């Protein structure tokens, strides 16, 4: 198995450390960077969260706003995706309201608040009852929110007005269908080569037109973020054997791959008692809507390690 350097050592300029808990405050989780020195963090993602602004220089936070009182129950107001502009914080939430005619089904709503703090405001419903995508994507374009779910995609005016349906991402070209699980961005695609016996698995990164093809020793994962960064599972060896993993012998760490430099580095933290490393994806800023945060909790549970992909220079791609 190849040995990889820790991603925080490869991309030092992207590394941020944030506390899990401040004195006298509940635990918090990062969801976006509002600026170079300001992180947006939330308390309890699943039950009536409060948004906070955390200053990296002073190491102080202030509350920006709290979800409505009816969101106190678990999973009644679950934050999904967050995006930040110069004036707004916008997010999607999986919502459940206790209603006699709704038997426990949740849906997705779009919410917003001033970036400086203030009242939270419902913008619109994005899905119907019982439709909560496991993953969604949210970004901002001027005064509009762009949202993509499992089956639907919309442009939503944040100041009011009807949402407009957006076209879904084009499927992979027929020439790439020899790859397993191929997923494409604007120009670049990533898919898994059919495994060969006793060989390490490989992901192929290639343009939609079939040019620029390169192989990455890894397993499947997300499509390239901003057509550049791949979050992939570690490689495996196809030998038809069954493997068991424990907290003492966990699965290998996931990998962050940079198409522009060809470098790969280990990412993720191992929760106590778990056999699987955890990597979370945070929100996006209006200036870099496709370069999110990757973050994970330290082993002692006291801090968050954050990689802000927007801080990695683009010069390698020119």
The DSSP secondary structure of the chain, one letter per residue, reads: -----BHHHH-GGGEEEEES--TTS--EEEEEEEETTEEEEEE-TTSS-EEEEEETTTTEEEEEEE--GGGGSTTSEEEEEEEE-SSEEEEEEEE---BTTB-S--EEEEEEEETT----EEEEE-S-TT---SS-EEEEETTEEEEE-SS-EEEEETTSS--EE-PPPPPPPGGGTTSEEEEE-SSEEEEEPPP-TTSB-EEEEEETTS-S-EEEES--BPPPBTTTEEEEPPP-B-SS------SSSPPPPPEEEETTT--EEE--B--TT-SS-B-EE--EETTBTT--EEEEE-TTSSEEEEEEGGGS-SGGG-
Residue 290, pLDDT > 90, answer: no
Whole-angstrom Cα distance, residue 166 to residue 184? 17
What pLDDT is attached to residue 73? 86
Please tell me whether the overall predicted TM-score, pTM, comes out greater than 0.85 for this model: yes
For residue 1, is it within any domain?
no
Instruction: Looking at the structure, tell me whether residues 160 and 204 fall in a common domain.
Output: no
Residue 255, pLDDT > 80, answer: yes
Query: At 162, which CATH number?
Result: 2.40.128
Beta-carbon count within 10 A of 188 CB? 19
Report how many domains make up the chain.
Answer: 2
Which residues, 6+ apart, have CB-to-CB distance to 162 below 8 Å? none
> Given the DSSP bridges, would you call strands 28-35 and 137-141 parallel, antiparallel or unpaired?
unpaired
Could you read off the pLDDT of 90-124 as tens digits, one per residue? 999 999 887 766 777 899 999 999 999 999 999 99
Instruction: Looking at the structure, tell me whether residues 197 and 137 fall in a common domain.
Output: no
> By residue range, what is the domain housing residue 213?
170-273
Instruction: Looking at the structure, tell me whether residues 233 and 246 fall in a common domain.
Output: yes
What pLDDT is attached to residue 81? 92
Residue 287, pLDDT > 60, answer: no
Instruction: Looking at the structure, tell me whether residues 161 and 176 fall in a common domain.
Output: no
Is residue 242 very low, low, confident or very high in pLDDT (cuts 50, 70, 90)?
confident
Instruction: Looking at the structure, tell me whether residues 291 and 148 fall in a common domain.
Output: yes
What pLDDT is attached to residue 289? 54
What pLDDT is attached to residue 237? 85
For residue 5, is it within any domain?
no
For residue 138, is it within any domain?
yes
Could you read off the pLDDT of 10-53 as tens digits, one per residue? 999 999 999 999 888 889 999 999 989 999 999 988 888 999 99
Instruction: Looking at the structure, tell me whether residues 290 and 208 fall in a common domain.
Output: no
């Amino acid at each position: 198995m190849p040995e990889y350097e820790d991603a925080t050592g490869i991309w030092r300029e992207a590394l941020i450390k944030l506390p899990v808990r401040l004195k006298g405050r509940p635990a918090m989780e990062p969801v976006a960077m509002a600026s170079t020195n300001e992180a947006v963090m939330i308390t309890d993602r699943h039950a009536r969260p409060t948004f906070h602004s955390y200053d990296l220089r002073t190491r102080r936070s202030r509350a920006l706003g709290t979800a409505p009182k009816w969101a106190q129950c678990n999973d009644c107001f679950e934050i999904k995706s967050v995006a930040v502009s110069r004036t707004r914080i916008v997010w999607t939430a999986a919502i459940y309201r206790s209603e006699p005619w709704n038997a426990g089904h949740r849906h997705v709503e779009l919410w917003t608040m001033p970036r400086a703090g203030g009242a939270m405001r419902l913008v619109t419903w994005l899905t119907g009852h019982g439709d909560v995508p496991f993953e969604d994507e949210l970004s901002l374009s001027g005064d509009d929110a762009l949202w993509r779910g499992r089956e639907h995609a919309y442009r939503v005016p944040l100041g009011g007005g009807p949402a407009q349906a957006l076209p879904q991402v084009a499927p992979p070209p027929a020439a790439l269908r020899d790859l397993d699980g191929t997923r494409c961005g604007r120009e670049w695609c990533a898919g898994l080569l059919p495994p060969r016996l006793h060989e390490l698995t490989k992901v192929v990164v290639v343009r939609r037109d079939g040019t620029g093809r390169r192989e990455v020793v890894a397993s499947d994962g997300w499509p390239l973020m901003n057509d550049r960064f791949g979050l992939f599972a570690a490689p495996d060896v196809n030998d038809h054997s069954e493997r068991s993993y424990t907290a003492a012998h966990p699965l290998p760490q996931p990998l962050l791959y940079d198409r522009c430099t060809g470098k790969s580095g280990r990412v993720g933290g191992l929760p106590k008692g778990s056999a699987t490393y955890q990597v979370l994806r945070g929100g996006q800023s209006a200036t870099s809507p496709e370069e999110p945060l990757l973050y994970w909790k330290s082993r002692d549970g006291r801090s968050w390690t954050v990689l802000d992909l927007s801080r990695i220079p683009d010069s390698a791609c020119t």
